With several copies, the nearest count.
Chain A
């Protein structure tokens, strides 16, 4: 396959829709083990990003992701802003100069993004953060030569739900210590929507 500018735009469009539709849910999750602004922050930033890239013409995917990264960083705020921003920036870097992008390139870019999140957040799997969705999903993607959208969806969903069992050691949720167990991590939920949107785009490309 060849992941092009329109795919990138489409991905963000779908992701933004899902986040907007679930703004309340994300905020509710963040009220329980955070400060209740994750939905507000994400919806504000992704909406802005979707508009920016939608209105603009691009001749390569790297630039699309660069604009997305910059908008998210300046509009999301909180912890999620720099984290998602970093991920998209690394993704953009890793695709720089490529005029055709195959599935392997995309997965490599995403895994650079994950590395960025972990460095930026000084976090690893098992701390009840969005890393707990990104890492299993990207591992899953790395194992296949071609995209397997259904598996991506399953893995993301299971990973997101599994954050319930984790005791948070990073982010605001960490202040809740044991009390953070039993609740889904808001950032993992928004990451789930992100990969759900990507899977749908990849499905479209195949058919």
Chain B
């Protein structure tokens, strides 16, 4: 394992203090927790927006803290969901009396810990609502199983719910627009190289020199198939087509596009992927309202990328364009 770290078991703590010191006027660390909040939390007359999960997905989730987006992020160990008490402390840290809305990626651990924290908070009279993001079309959608994973599309939910909250909406209104976003966002990813959890010391999986895995999850969960690596155009096509099979888009529909890097893939390659994705959408007569290319939801140093499409209506467009102070999702 080759990493620029100190103690592998202290990476999350070290990262937290490095983050706070990078933005001491924007961020605040709740002592004795793994919770980071807006410096000005709790924000009065505003629903508190909370997200989080295992670490290793930076800039998710702490990079999305700021006016217009998240009020707090609760960080778990690398790829492990934060425990109930941490989430509970995060809820208390951002509740100003208007209630707290939590955005959860659909992994059993995350869902259970956030749900229990919610119950503890509600037992104290704090209003809590939530949405579970499940945008990964690589997993089949089923209510009998764990169901789809939450990946890069989650960032759009942060942005839109965050804007709604910033506009002073109620917990119910935020839940409504967050659910609309989840219903309209789809993603799929692929990897050409693995990643190593610091505490584990060994790569989570291995790919041959010629192999890629299509449909992989952001923790290295199995995808749809392993095969020989192809061209950027073919990769972009496969990811986009799979998404389009799942979300029927018709001519003149408007979408936001996110080409997300998983960690080790250069921006150059993400732009090359974007070229093809835009071409495919154009040929379908789908209008691209905004495009985001960069690292938004990573998997440590995994090599690969994901494509996300968010179908937009006027409300979602307005909220997507709403100003945000989040360090990794600034909108003027």
Chains A, B in direct contact (C-beta < 8 Å): yes
| Count of inter-chain pairs, beta carbons less than 8 A | 82
Give the nearest-CB partner of A80 in chain B: B109
Cβ of B123 to closest chain A Cβ, rounded Å: 12
Say whether B330 faces chain A, with CB atoms less than 8 Å apart: no
On whether the beta carbons of A172 and B221 are closer than 8 Å, the reply is yes
Q: Is A1 part of the contact surface with B, judged by Cβ < 8 Å? A: no
Tell me, yes or no, whether A79 is within 8 Å of chain B by CB.
yes
Q: Say yes or no: B80 contacts A77, CB within 8 Å.
A: yes
| Residue A97 at the chain B interface, CB threshold 8 Å | no
B76 part of interface (Cβ distance < 8 Å): yes
Per-residue 0/1 for A161-182: is the Cβ within 8 Å of any B Cβ (1 yes, 0 no)? 0000000011110111001000
Q: A169 touching B145 by the CB < 8 A rule?
A: yes
Using C-beta atoms within 8 Å of the partner chain, give the interface range for chain A: 20 to 34
Q: A74-B85, A77-B109, A82-B116 are in contact. Are A35 and B146 (CB under 8 A)?
A: no
**A170-B108, A174-B145 given as contacts; is B83 within 8 A of A73 (CB)?**
yes
B267 interface residue, CB < 8 Å from A?
A: no
Q: Which residues of A (130-180) have their CB < 8 Å from a CB of B?
A: 169-172, 174-176, 179
- B199 contacts the other chain (CB 8 A): yes
Chain A, residue nearest B221 (CB): A175
Closest to A76 in B: B83
Pick from B79, B82, B144: contact of A169, CB under 8 Å: B144
Given known contacts A79-B109, A120-B112, is B222 in contact with A179 (CB within 8 Å)? yes
Pick from A4-12, A36-44, A59-67, A100-108 the stretch touching chain B.
A36-44
List residues of chain A with CB within 8 A of the CB of B82. 77
> In the complex, how many angstroms separate the beta carbon of B292 from the nearest chain A beta carbon?
27
* Also in contact, A78 and B80, with CB within 8 A (given A169-B146, A171-B108, A175-B146): yes
> Of A40, A77, A175, which contacts B83 at CB under 8 A?
A77
Residues of B within 8 A of A85 (CB): 84, 116
Contact (Cβ within 8 A) A176 B222: yes
Q: Which residues of A contact B199 (CB under 8 A)?
A: 40
Report B19-45 residues with CB < 8 Å from chain A CB.
none
Interface residues of B in 200-257 (CB under 8 A from A): 200, 204, 217, 219-222
Complex formed: what's the CA distance from A182 to B190 in Å?
27
A61 and B316 alpha carbons, distance in the complex (Å): 53
Interface string of B63-102 (1 = CB under 8 A from A): 0000000000000110111111110000000000000000
Q: Collect the chain B residues with CB atoms within 8 Å of residue A172's CB.
A: 107-108, 146, 221
Identity of the chain A residue whose Cβ is nearest the Cβ of B217 in the assembled complex: A175
Q: Please state if B84 and A73 are interface contacts (CB–CB under 8 Å).
A: yes
Contact between chains at B145 and A78 (CB < 8 Å): no
- A183 proximal to B (CB < 8 A): no
Q: Is A83 an interface residue (CB 8 A)?
A: yes
Q: When chains A and B are docked, how far (Å) is the Cα of A73 from the Cα of B86? A: 10
Q: Does B113 contact A (CB under 8 A)?
A: yes
CA distance A81 to B84 in the complex (A): 8
What A residues does B217 contact at CB under 8 A? 175
Task: Enumerate chain B residues within 8 angstroms of A179, measured Cβ to Cβ.
Answer: 222
CB distance from A25 to the nearest CB of B (A): 16
A20-52 Cβ-contact flags toward B at 8 Å (1 or 0): 000000000000000111001100000000000
By CB atoms of chain B within 10 A, which of A77, A85, A176 has the most? A77
**Known A-B contacts A79-B108, A175-B139; A74 and B83 likewise in contact (beta carbons under 8 Å):** yes
List the interface of chain A (C-beta within 8 A of B).
35-37, 40-41, 70, 73-79, 81-83, 85-86, 120-121, 169-172, 174-176, 179
Q: A36-B200, A172-B146 are in contact. List 13 more A-B contacts (CB 8 A).
A: A35-B204, A35-B219, A70-B85, A73-B84, A74-B85, A77-B76, A77-B81, A78-B80, A79-B109, A81-B83, A172-B107, A172-B221, A179-B222
- A and B contact pairs by CB, cutoff 8 A, 23 listed: A35-B221, A37-B79, A41-B80, A73-B85, A74-B84, A77-B83, A78-B109, A81-B109, A81-B113, A82-B112, A120-B112, A120-B115, A120-B116, A169-B145, A170-B108, A170-B146, A171-B108, A171-B146, A172-B107, A172-B108, A174-B145, A175-B139, A175-B222
Nearest 10 Cβ contacts at the A-B interface: A82-B112, A74-B85, A79-B108, A78-B109, A79-B109, A174-B146, A73-B84, A77-B83, A169-B145, A175-B221
